[in-house]
């Protein structure tokens, strides 16, 4: 699976692990969205935290505007967030 940002046609953006499938679908897991906070900063937050979507969900490719790679800094930030999520640990990712 690859790590990247998916922008949906309806405007939402998620950071996630993804894999394109042959049947016109894209498989997404461990998705996060960027939640804006004060001073033009943001934090990652679990996408649809009230569901089991972190285990994976499939979308039709037609729902996606584009997919792009993350910057090295963003990959590091996402990986820290994901590790904390898997270990059920709350950490300050800004430190």
Question: pLDDT tier at 29 (50, 70, 90 boundaries)?
Answer: very high
pLDDT in tens, 66-87: 999 999 999 999 999 999 888 8
On average, the pLDDT of the chain sits at 88
| 5-34: average pLDDT | 93
Q: Which two tokens stand for residue 26?
A: 């894209």
List C-alpha distances in Å: 28 to 34, 51, 52, 84: 16, 14, 12, 19
Which domains are present in the chain?
2-86 (2.30.30.100)
| 54-60: average pLDDT | 89
List C-alpha distances in Å: 72 to 18, 42, 69, 94: 17, 17, 9, 15
Alpha helices, H only, 1-95: 72-86
More confident position, 14 or 39: 14
User: Can you give the pTM of this predicted structure?
Assistant: 0.84
């Amino acid at each position: 699976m690859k790590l990247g940002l998916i922008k949906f046609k309806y405007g939402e953006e998620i950071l996630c692990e993804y894999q394109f499938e042959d049947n016109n679908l894209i498989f997404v897991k461990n998705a996060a969205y960027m939640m804006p906070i004060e001073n033009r900063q943001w934090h990652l937050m679990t996408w649809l935290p009230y569901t089991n979507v972190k285990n994976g969900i499939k979308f039709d490719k037609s729902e996606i505007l584009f997919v792009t790679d993350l910057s090295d800094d963003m990959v590091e930030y996402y990986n820290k967030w994901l590790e904390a999520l898997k270990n059920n640990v709350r950490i300050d990712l800004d430190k």
